[in-house]
Every structure is written in C-alpha cells, then in structure tokens.
Amino acid sequence: MPSKSRRDAEKKLQQLRQTLAGHNHRYYVLDDPQIPDAEYDRLFQELEQLEAEFPDLITADSPTQRVGANARREFAEVNHEVPMLSLGNAFAASDIEEFDRRVRNALDTEQPVEYFAEPKLDGLAVSLRYANGRLVQAATRGDGATGEDVTANVRTIKSVPLTLQGKNYPALLDVRGEVFMSKQGFNRMNAGLAEQGVKTFVNPRNAAAGSLRQLDPHITASRPLEICFHSFGRAEGGQLPDRQSELMTQLRDWGLRVAPETRRVKGAAGCLKYYQELGRKREQLKYEIDGVVYKVDRFDQQRVLGFVSRAPRWAIAHKFPAQEELTVLRAVEFQVGRTGALTPVARLEPVFVGGVTVSNATLHNMDEIERKDVHIGDTVYIRRAGDVIPEVVRVLPERRPKNAARIELPAACPVCGSHIVREPGEAVARCTGGLICAAQRKEALKHFASRRAMDIDGLGSVLVEQLVDDALLHTPADIYRLSDHKAALIRREGLGEKSVDKLLAAVAASKATTLPRFLFALGIRDVGETTAADLADYFGDLDALKQAALDYHKAMADGLAEKDLKALPLQQVGNVGHVIASKIADFFSEPHNTRIIDELLALGVQWQKTAGTAAGPKPLNGKIFVLTGSLNRMTRDEAKVHIQQRGGKVTGSVSKRTDYVVAGVDPGSKFDKAQQLGVAVLDEAAFLLLLELD
Ligand code: IVH
C-alpha cells in the first residue's frame, strides 16, 4: 500500500533531496558535517525507499543517481566553447619579478598590482557545465579545444554538486577545476589495490587521472576523487563578480568547492612571500600541489592583458621543485643498520629532485625490489618529498637495457663478512655478525652493559659510543679488558681517575652473573629476558644449549621437515618455536659469536650452573646404539637425533658395551658382529616402537 499520496511524495522527495544535498555540501565541500554519518545514511535510505515507491519521480539530480550510467565503449568528444588554456611556468624568483614587470607595463601602472594567489593542484583539469543550476556536462581538458565527455564519472565525485546552491547563478555556467586525490585517499586506495594483487598507482595525480578516465563509472565511484574549482569558461544569463578573489567566494556560495589556501597579495613581493609560506606547508597539505598560481585579481585588468598563444598574460604558475624525476640506477649497495637489517641502497646517476641533487635512494628491502622488479641499469622514478629519504618508486621497463643485471642479496655482510640470513616469509635480510659487526657494535654493547643484562653501572649509552669511537671497545669481551687501558681512560675528557676506578669496579663486579642475564646480554635476536630464562632453566648450562643450537643448525641445513625439527631439544623449551630456535641456532653456529663467548668466559664471566630440567628422566638415558643399513622412515642422521633427544648415544662400531644395533635394509658387517656378541638387534619396526614413533 503506497504510504503517501503522490503529491505528498513529490513534496517529501524534493525536501529530502535538498536536505541531503545540503549535508553533502557541508561534508564534502565545506569539510564541516552537521549531522552524524548514520543520520545521513538514514535520510538517504528514506529517499531510496520513497523513490522505489514512485520510480517515475526520480530525477537526475537526486543524490541516489550519482552512479547511474553503465559502462560505455569510449568517451564522446566535447568542444570547449571557451578554450581551456595552460599557464606559463616560472621557477625562479626573478621569473616572477619579470612577470610582474610585464603586467605593470601592459597596465601602464607603477602601483603594486593586486594578485590572487592559489595553490596549483596536481590533478587533472575538467570543465563542468551547469545549465539553470543543474550539472549537465563534464569534460576533460584534452588538447584545450576538445576534451572527453566524463559526465557520468564526474557525477560520482561527492564534492561535485549535482545542483548549484542559491539563486543568482548564471543560466549557463562553465566552471573549471581540478580533479585530484588526497594523499590519504591515494595511500588507502593503493593499499587496497595491493591487497587485491592489482597494480598500484605511482602518485595521486596518475591515480586521479586513471580513476576519472574509467569507462565504467562504478569504478570511478569507488575511487576517492575530489574536486576544487579555480576558474570559469562561458558564463551567460547572470552576473559574475569583478575579481578572481570575489569569484572564489561566489563559487563557494554556489556550493562549488575551492582550495582553502588562497589569498590576495600585493606585487611580486607578496607573491613570493605566499610561495615561501605555502612551500613550507606543502608536506602538511592534504593534497599534492606542484606549485602556486598568481592571477591578476581584477577581471578588467585581465581583459587588458589578454592572452599570448595559449596562455593568459595575467597569470603564471610558479612551480615548486619537482618531487619526482627519472634517472638511471647504476649500482646497489647494502647498508647494515643497528639491528643488522640490510637495506639495499640505489646508487643513482645524480638527479635534481625535491630541490636537491640526489645520488642515493632507498630500495627498502628485497621484497620491494622483487615487487617493483628493479634491475641495475634500469631507468627509475625517484621521489623525494620534503625531508624524507628519496626512494625508488618504480622502473620504466621499456627503457631496460639488454645488460641490465638482477639485484642479488649478498651472502656475506659488507661490514663484517658474517653470513646474511633471510628467514622465509620475512622481507628483511640480516647480518648474523651480531657482536662483531661494527654496524651493530654500539647497539650490541649498550644492550650488553644495560641494567637487565650484565648490569654494568656507569657504562651507559654515551660512554659506549665514545669508547667505540676511541677504538677501546670492539666486542663485549673488550669491556673486561678495559682495565688494561686505565691510563687512556683517565686521559679521556670527562673521566677522572675516581670515576674510572668506579667504572672498572663495576665491570669486575658484573663478571659474577647468572646464565639468564648472560644469554639475554648476548643480544640473540628474539631472545628476550623470558626466553633467556627458559633456555637457562631447560639446559642448565651454556654447553648444553650450544650443543642443542648446533644440532638444530645442522638439522636445518640437512633440510629436516618442520615436524621433525619440532622434536629437537631446542624446541622443547617453553615458547621456543621454529622461528626463535632458528635464530638461536644461527647465533651459535656463527664462529665469531662463539669466539666472543669463549673470550668472555676466559676473562672471568661466570655463573652458577644448574642441572636443567632437560636432564630429567629420559627413556634412553645412557643407552648406546649402533646404526646399520638404511631405514624407510628416516635417514640415519635423523635416527641419531631421535636417539640423542631421548638421552641415548650413537657410536660407530659394535662392542660388548653396545645396547642395541638398529638394522635397516641391507645391513653390513655390524649386524653379524651384533649376533656374534649377542647384542640386541632391532629392525625398523622395533626401533620405532622404542622411540614411541610407531
Ligand atoms: S587557472 C587560464 N588555477 O594548471 C588559466 N589552473 O597549467 C586557467 N591548475 O590546466 C587555469 N591549479 O588544470 C588555474 N589554481 C589553479 C590551478 C590550475 C591547477 C591547472 C589547470 C590547468 C593547468 C595550467
């Protein structure tokens, strides 16, 4: 049953559309919403329901009709009755002074000219036609004379009013502006595209252009496009203001969004001041700008000045240094950070970008290199925005030379020569040098001496840095050799004899420590205080832990499956899974690290040993095994691990002391020997039973 009479519905529809358009304007144009989103949604739904009841009362300017059209095959052409011109470019202050002189000459005045200064939005130009206040057409700039009809797409942009506000607008109005994407909108959209595995856009400008020129308006509607207006073309049947500054206020009153950062200025000096100010604000702006535009404010003066070729003589674009440039990637070097993380750095053909000459740019990590498919020799897009580190944004594959080379992760650390590891699934590759890598030394030493680690009173961050710079400290072991350098320490600025004595006493006192503290102090990746304590509890002493780490490392190198690695002693420790176990294994398998541990022990670092819970009852404790022949379920190495894990030992030859000979397929002479000596022989099934693996 229709809930309302037709006449009531008509009235209600009109009222809802007006209310919604008003809220839309406050939200998207003024950035100042009046009602909560939910309230807006409710009104929108009400409108939808009523329109469903009276479909013949739906109008093109209804907020429900923004995304109406279906995809088309191509865009129709639109002739711009007043051509869409471009602007002359200026880069230096002297260019602006020159421009101002030309303007004053043409106007024949000595007085400072009033200009209207605006940001130069980095998007794409469009011209929108409003007939009797209704949006009837939107076109791209094209070549300035002919553009493409993008009406259906522009209608989907929320800051575009489908009808103008107020009354005094011209019967026919062509307004011009810039369609763009905010930095935030761009980043979010790109993140979404990346998640879907779809190609991302290089910058907001390309994203805006790509999104507006979609043949299917539904796609455009899903993209965060925005608009700001800055000029007009044809205007008939109504009065326009006399100045650009007033025009902007008028446009805003008609519901057409304009950039907020505009201002009237006086003379070249005023222009340049505005340029400086906006340049400083550039990074904080919500959208990208590539410069500013100065326009002679008075329209009567604009008419006197007129045009040259395709640009007005009354306006000029003052560009900021470009934030993106093309250059050639010559080489890639790897830098080692404080935590050992390797960062690939692109060495570039020097290029002027973002106001400075750039010859290095970050490539972030190996995943990024793979994702962007960067090769040495490639022509690459470099971006430097504000003070951020320049980065390689993408490559131009069509310019790849034949001899372009793949970028390989080095096997050894460029600083210390230790192995580089990259855990599966991790983007970051790391140097395993830990304690000996100069790049990591300062951080490692600070951690080693810190209160929760070796707790060396007086050896804080600043002193560690100084002592490393003075070459008195290289590794943690050097801390315990500082007493040999007492004279040098006293000579150091800021360190009197008394404080040196105090420091050396604290160093000496720290030698008596605990195994958990020592393990934590070593700075093994992912081994925090809790894990260090768990490891100490389980193994009781360093030797047992080291052995477990080396066994684990070997098992990984042998390619043991994860479920078998899980059975190894290292993973029996609470909270130690494969990821942490492999880091512990890597650490102890690095000879540099074990050497420093040995030095520390030799220099007197010590702790109370305990039995460790791992030494508890084990099913095969003390049993001696000999393996012969091949097994089906596992290799001999794996069998050995299983036996050791349960407290057993594996030897090479059969003797009276042998408890079991495990005989697989094709056993050798050891089988005969076992029978001779009467040693128990287990076939594979019996062996698995013993291991409780059957
Ligand atoms: S005025 C006749 N104002 O820059 C002058 N243009 O190089 C018409 N642009 O295609 C343009 N911000 O799309 C003007 N505040 C601004 C602008 C601006 C960006 C673009 C515009 C035009 C290009 C000219």
Residues facing residue 177 across a β-bridge: 126, 229
Tokens, residue 128: 């929108």
Q: How open is the CA angle 299-305-309, to the nearest 5 degrees?
A: 120
CA 18 to chain centre: 42
**Alpha helices (H) in 558-605, listed in sequence order:** 562-565, 578-588, 591-602
Q: Which amino acid is at 681?
A: V
List of residues 6+ apart from 426 with CB closer than 8 A: none
Please report the pLDDT score of residue 615 as a whole number: 61
Q: Which amino acid is at 173?
A: L
Distance from C-alpha of 172 to C-alpha of 154, rounded to nearest angstrom: 18
Distance 278 CA to ligand 1 centre (A): 17
Ligand 1, atom 17, lies closest to the CA of 120
* Residue 79: strand, helix, or coil: strand
List of residues 6+ apart from 104 with CB closer than 8 A: 110, 111, 113
- The CB of 118 under 6 Å from ligand 1? The reply is yes
- The CB of 654 under 6 Å from ligand 1? The reply is no
Distance 135 CA to ligand 1 centre (A): 21
What residues are labeled active site?
A: 120
Which ligand 1 atom is nearest residue 85's CA?
2
Distance from C-alpha of 430 to C-alpha of 14, rounded to nearest angstrom: 65
Is there a contact between 264 and 115 (Cβ–Cβ < 8 Å)? yes
**Alpha helices (H) in 374-483, listed in sequence order:** 438-449, 461-469, 476-479
Residues facing residue 606 across a β-bridge: 512
Distance from C-alpha of 429 to C-alpha of 452, rounded to nearest angstrom: 28
447-470 per-residue burial string, b: 16 or more CB within 10 A, e: under 16: bbbbeebbebeebeeebbeebbee
Distance from C-alpha of 600 to C-alpha of 603, rounded to nearest angstrom: 5
Which ligand 1 atom is nearest residue 262's CA?
15
Distance from C-alpha of 486 to C-alpha of 498, rounded to nearest angstrom: 11
Question: Which of 285, 360, 282 lies closest to 321, judged by CA?
Answer: 282
Q: Given the structure tokens 């013993």, which residue do they identify?
A: 690
Distance from C-alpha of 252 to C-alpha of 570, rounded to nearest angstrom: 69
Distance from C-alpha of 657 to C-alpha of 648, rounded to nearest angstrom: 13
Is there a contact between 44 and 185 (Cβ–Cβ < 8 Å)? no
Please report the pLDDT score of residue 398 as a whole number: 85
Distance 84 CA to ligand 1 centre (A): 9
- The CB of 173 under 6 Å from ligand 1? The reply is no
Mode of pairing for the β-strands spanning 315-319 and 89-90: parallel
Query: Treating both helix axes as pointing N-terminal to C-terminal, what angle do 542-557 and 578-588 enclose, rounded to 10 degrees?
Result: 110
Tokens, residue 515: 């195994």
Distance from C-alpha of 60 to C-alpha of 76, rounded to nearest angstrom: 20
Which ligand 1 atom is nearest residue 178's CA?
13
Ligand 1, atom 22, lies closest to the CA of 86
Q: Which amino acid is at 30?
A: L
- The CB of 121 under 6 Å from ligand 1? The reply is yes
Return the best residue to mutate from 226, 230, 263 for the ligand 1 pocket (most ligand atoms within 8 A of CB): 230
Q: Given the structure tokens 């080396």, which residue do they identify?
A: 550
For 153, counting Cβ atoms within 10 Å of its Cβ (0-12 exposed, 13-18 middle, 19+ buried), the class is buried
- The CB of 312 under 6 Å from ligand 1? The reply is yes
Question: Which of 521, 609, 591 lies closest to 549, judged by CA?
Answer: 591
Q: What is the mean pLDDT of each run of 10 residues along the chain (694 residues)?
A: 75 92 81 73 88 89 78 84 91 95 96 97 95 96 91 95 93 97 94 86 88 91 96 93 97 95 96 95 92 97 90 94 89 87 94 89 91 93 83 88 94 92 84 81 90 94 89 93 92 84 95 96 90 90 94 93 89 87 94 94 92 70 88 87 79 91 90 91 91 78
Q: Given the structure tokens 């000979």, which residue do they identify?
A: 661
**pLDDT tens-place string over residues 453-481:** 999 999 998 899 889 888 899 999 999 99
Which ligand 1 atom is nearest residue 118's CA?
15
Tokens, residue 480: 């315990």
Return the best residue to mutate from 82, 86, 87, 262 for the ligand 1 pocket (most ligand atoms within 8 A of CB): 87
Distance 26 CA to ligand 1 centre (A): 25
Please report the pLDDT score of residue 4 as a whole number: 63
Distance from C-alpha of 439 to C-alpha of 446, rounded to nearest angstrom: 13
Return the best residue to mutate from 89, 120, 205, 275 for the ligand 1 pocket (most ligand atoms within 8 A of CB): 120
Distance from C-alpha of 229 to C-alpha of 175, rounded to nearest angstrom: 7
For 299, counting Cβ atoms within 10 Å of its Cβ (0-12 exposed, 13-18 middle, 19+ buried), the class is middle
- The CB of 87 under 6 Å from ligand 1? The reply is yes
Ligand 1, atom 14, lies closest to the CA of 230
List of residues 6+ apart from 191 with CB closer than 8 A: none
- The CB of 80 under 6 Å from ligand 1? The reply is no
- The CB of 208 under 6 Å from ligand 1? The reply is no
Distance 530 CA to ligand 1 centre (A): 61
Distance 212 CA to ligand 1 centre (A): 18
CB atoms within 10 A of CB 446: 20
Return the best residue to mutate from 91, 121, 289 for the ligand 1 pocket (most ligand atoms within 8 A of CB): 121
Ligand 1, atom 3, lies closest to the CA of 230
Q: How open is the CA angle 636-637-643, to the nearest 5 degrees?
A: 90
- CA-based max dimension of the chain: 122
Which ligand 1 atom is nearest residue 312's CA?
2
Question: Which of 335, 329, 375 lies closest to 351, judged by CA?
Answer: 329
Question: Which of 589, 434, 591 lies closest to 522, judged by CA?
Answer: 434
Distance 85 CA to ligand 1 centre (A): 8
Distance from C-alpha of 178 to C-alpha of 204, rounded to nearest angstrom: 13
* Residue 300: strand, helix, or coil: helix
Ligand 1, atom 23, lies closest to the CA of 86
Distance 352 CA to ligand 1 centre (A): 25
195-210 per-residue burial string, b: 16 or more CB within 10 A, e: under 16: eeeeeebebbbebbbb
Tallying the residues shown for the chain, one arrives at: 694
- The CB of 205 under 6 Å from ligand 1? The reply is no
Return the best residue to mutate from 178, 289, 303, 309 for the ligand 1 pocket (most ligand atoms within 8 A of CB): 178
CA 582 to chain centre: 27
- Which strand (E) or helix (H) includes residue 275? helix 267-281
Ligand 1, atom 18, lies closest to the CA of 120
Q: Which amino acid is at 569?
A: P
Distance from C-alpha of 200 to C-alpha of 477, rounded to nearest angstrom: 50
Please report the pLDDT score of residue 240 as a whole number: 93
Measure Cα distances from 668 to 100, 102, 625 in Å: 100, 103, 15
Distance 455 CA to ligand 1 centre (A): 64
Q: Tell me 63's DSSP state.
A: G
Is there a contact between 228 and 155 (Cβ–Cβ < 8 Å)? no
Please report the pLDDT score of residue 1 as a whole number: 46
Phi-psi region at 56: left, alpha or beta (left = phi > 0; alpha = psi -120 to 50): alpha
Q: Given the structure tokens 């076939």, which residue do they identify?
A: 683
Measure Cα distances from 492 to 193, 460, 497, 587 in Å: 57, 15, 10, 34
Q: Which amino acid is at 493?
A: E
Which ligand 1 atom is nearest residue 122's CA?
19
End-to-end CA, the chain: 73
